[in-house]
Amino acid sequence: MSLVTDSPVHSSSSSDDFAAFLDSTLDSKSSDSSPDENAVTDGHSDSSDSSSDEEAEDDCNLISKRPRVEKLESIEETQGSTSNGFVEQQLRETEGSTSNGFLELPLGETQESTSDVFVEQPLEASWKKDMCKHPGSFGEMCILCGQMLDTESGVTLRYIHKELRLCNDEIVRLRATDMKNLLRRKKLYLVLDLDHTLLNSTQLIHLTVEEEYLKEQTDSLQDVSEGSLFKLQFMHMMTKLRPFVRTFLKEASEMFEMYIYTMGDRSYALEMAKLLDPRKEYFDSRIISRDDGTEKHQKGLDVVLGQDSAVLILDDTENAWTKHKDNLILMERYHFFASSCRQFGFNCKSLSELKSDESEFDGALSSVLKVLRRIHSLFFDELGDNVDGRDARQVLKTVRKEVLKNCKLVFSRVFPTKFQAEKHHFWKMAEQLGASCSTELDQTVTHVVSTDAGTEKSRWAVKEQKFLVHPTWIEATNYMWQRQPEENFTLDQIKNQ
């Protein structure tokens, strides 16, 4: 990964040695992130990225030899998103308005080190240190003035570099700038989970006897662009890409700037990104793993350089995003391997054991792509030209409410006795999908949702020719984002499955 090459920001900076150092460091960081042989499948690994104290000390020594403070080029008119190149921008920029927290510092000719600058320009150097607002640090050193910092504040963006930290104000500034550029290109942000969302992985030792045939059907790792089933021998695992995923990524990239965010470790995340994006067209450096998060067992948008109001999330696990449920599109889990079914307590044959797979054109990714197109169209085209202040979370709610619009549901023997119906997840899910829910029968009711065909309400539904469906009809509708055929969810159908 070359931040200097990839960045849309073209600085006129003269501190090429420092920029070159960072660039080479990040390049080596990316190339050194090889997977541990003990990596565990299903997106989880016990390995993590590490480097020696000597390397860290060398980094700081090189930074301390920064020859001079360079000039900042305004990024307000930069075409394209800046989140790819923001690190280069911060490390190579110093001149700007005070509103950005930067001041032009008129230092003299190039010196051999910062200590020489202080000798020849003591007033300017002192002023620089006093006035610098320290927008971020590399290790313990300010990325602008080079001053050693005693306290830590802000967020560490380990997926860019393990020692890079930006303060909260600078992250806010970068997000605001990036937002303007992104909206100008009619794009939003999309954060994608890996396991059970875009793919499914298993350890080779967990393959069942009925799955042994898969070892002879894997695709080449030399050219992964057309394949979908891969044996990663060096990781002792096998990965199956979800049907339609390549088309999904290609078309979604035209509407969104995309991130990967997985609870797997970094080495696993990078290897999966190679399978999904071999030409680095979609994600670039925006690959976030559990090692990069700020809270254990949780995912958060604090490490995503996009404003929350412009972010959509695609994940199969709602509990991973407790602070960002309004941004979340919940996906039906993709269980290709038997180990995945067992992991979630399903006592049934997996798709691989059945020698079957999810539908490519009617499956989960195809369905959710239609939802994303609808959200994108509503956000940019149908609500007027002025997108300032618009919130993708509200657009998401609007689109979700279209799914069961004009449906009125009554529940029968779905909730525990004396349970407050309005608080049950089926009730709340139905309302989120646009249905109205009631505890009383009348002619405006369209569906009776029940687990027992013998209840009074169920018999009324049959008599009045209303839809009588199992609660899984609501779940399927929620996952597929379109009203599912009621005849596939009758109580007899579910009972016989």
Q: How many domains does the chain have?
A: 3
Bridge pairing between strands 447-450 and 408-412:
parallel
Residues 209 and 249 in one domain: yes
**What pLDDT is recorded for position 374?**
96
pLDDT in tens, 10-32: 333 333 444 444 454 445 444 44
Note whether 228 and 330 are same-domain residues: yes
428 vs 13, higher pLDDT: 428
Q: Are residues 194 and 162 in the same domain?
A: no
Rounded (5°) CA angle 441-444-449: 55
Is 418 a domain residue?
yes
Task: Tell whether 432 is covered by a domain.
Answer: yes
Give the chain as a 3 state SS string. Answer: CCHHHHCCCCCCCCCHHHHHHHHHHHHHHHHHCCCCCCCCCCCCCCCCCCCCHHHHHHHHHHHHCCCCCCCCCCCCCCCCCCCCCHHHHHHHCCCCCHHHCCCCCCCCCCCCCHHHHHHHCHHHHHHHHHHCCCCEEECCEECCCCCECCCCCCEECCCCCCCEEECHHHHHHHHHHHHHHHHHCCCEEEEECCECCCEEEEEHHHCCHHHHHHHHCCCCCCCCCCCCEEEEHHHCEEEEECCCHHHHHHHHCCCEEEEEECCCCHHHHHHHHHHHCCCCCCCCCCEECHHHCCCCCCCCHHHCCCCHHHEEEEECCHHHHCCCHHHEEECCCCCCCHHHHHHCCCCCCCCCCCCCCCCCCCCHHHHHHHHHHHHHHHHHHHCCCCCCCCCHHHHHHHHHCCCCCCCEEEEECCCCCCCCHHHCHHHHHHHHCCCEEECCCCCCCCEEEECCCCCHHHHHHHHCCCEEECCHHHHHHHHHCCCCCHHHHCHHHHHHC
| Whether 200 and 255 share a structural domain | yes
pLDDT number for residue 129: 59
Residues of the domain holding 428 = 404-495
Quick one: 369 and 472 in the same domain?
Answer: no
Looking up residue 421, the CATH number of its domain turns out to be: 3.40.50.10190
Contact residues for 335 (Cβ-Cβ < 8 A; gap 6+): 196, 200, 341, 344, 346, 350, 351
Q: Report d(CA 458, CA 438) in Å as an integer.
A: 14
Provide the pLDDT for residue 67: 34
User: Do 259 and 347 sit in the same domain of this protein?
Assistant: yes
Q: What is the pLDDT of residue 324?
A: 97
Q: Is residue 450 assigned to a domain? A: yes
Distance of CA 366 to the CA centre of its chain: 18
pLDDT of residue 61: 41
Q: What is the mean pLDDT of residues 211-238?
A: 95
Segment 90-113 mean pLDDT: 37
pLDDT of residue 139: 85
* Res. 105: pLDDT tops 70: no
Q: What is the pLDDT of residue 38?
A: 39
Question: Which among 159, 167, 239 is positioned nearest to 206, based on CA atoms?
Answer: 239
| pLDDT band of 95, cuts 50, 70, 90 | very low
Share of the chain above pLDDT 90, in %: 60
Domain boundary among 382, 413, 447: 382
The CATH number for 347's domain is: 3.40.50.1000
The contacts found for 74-77 with CB under 8 angstroms, 24 or more apart, are: 75/9, 75/177, 76/177, 76/180
- Say what the pLDDT of residue 219 is: 96
The more confidently predicted of residues 49 and 401 is: 401
Poorest-pLDDT segment among 43-47, 53-57, 291-295, 420-424: 43-47
Asked if residue 420 is part of any domain, the answer here is: yes
Cα–Cα distance for residue pair 331/494, rounded to 1 Å: 21
Give the whole-angstrom CA distance, residue 42 versus residue 392. 30
Q: Are strands 155-156 and 141-142 parallel, antiparallel or unpaired?
A: unpaired
Measure the CA–CA gap between 269 and 262, rounded to whole angstroms: 7
Asked whether residue 255 falls in the same domain as residue 283, the answer is: yes
Asked if residue 256 is part of any domain, the answer here is yes
Residue 462, pLDDT > 90, answer yes
Sorting pLDDT into bands at 50, 70 and 90, what band is 245? very high
Given pLDDT bands bounded at 50, 70 and 90, which one contains residue 381? confident
159 and 191 both lie in a single domain: no
Whether 231 is covered by a domain: the verdict is yes
Average pLDDT over the chain, rounded to whole? 80
Stronger pLDDT, 273 or 31, i.e. the higher one: 273
Strands 237-241 and 229-232: antiparallel
pLDDT tops 90 at residue 417 = no
Instruction: Please give the Cα distance from 411 to 114 (Å, whole number).
Output: 73
What single letter denotes the amino acid at residue 247? Answer: T
219 and 312 both lie in a single domain: yes
382, 416, 440 - which closes a domain: 382
CB atoms within 10 A of CB 29: 17
Are residues 459 and 339 part of one domain? no
pLDDT tens per residue, range 187-218: 999 999 999 999 999 999 999 999 999 999 99
Domain identity same for 305 and 361: yes
Indicate whether 88 belongs to any domain. no
Q: Are residues 204 and 316 in the same domain?
A: yes
CA distance 339 to 358: 17
Task: For residues 178 and 78, give the distance between their C-alpha atoms in angstroms, rounded to a whole number.
Answer: 9
What pLDDT shows up at residue 42?
Answer: 43
Mean pLDDT score, 271-289: 96
Indicate if the pLDDT at residue 106 is higher than 50: no
Q: What are the distances in angstroms from CA 79 to CA 10, 76, 182, 339, 443?
A: 11, 9, 9, 46, 57
User: How many Å apart are CA 340 and CA 201, to the nearest integer?
Assistant: 8
The residues, ordered by sequence, that sit 6+ positions from 56 with a Cβ below 8 Å of its Cβ are: 139, 163
pLDDT at 81: 47
How many Cα atoms within 13 Å fall on the side-chain side of residue 431?
11
Q: Report CA-CA distances (Å) from 305 to 137, 168, 259.
A: 17, 11, 10
Q: What pLDDT score was predicted for residue 6?
A: 36
Can you give the pLDDT at residue 94? 36
Going by pLDDT thresholds of 50, 70 and 90, the confidence category of residue 495 is confident
What is the structure's pLDDT at 127?
Answer: 52
Per the domain annotation, does 20 fall within a domain?
no
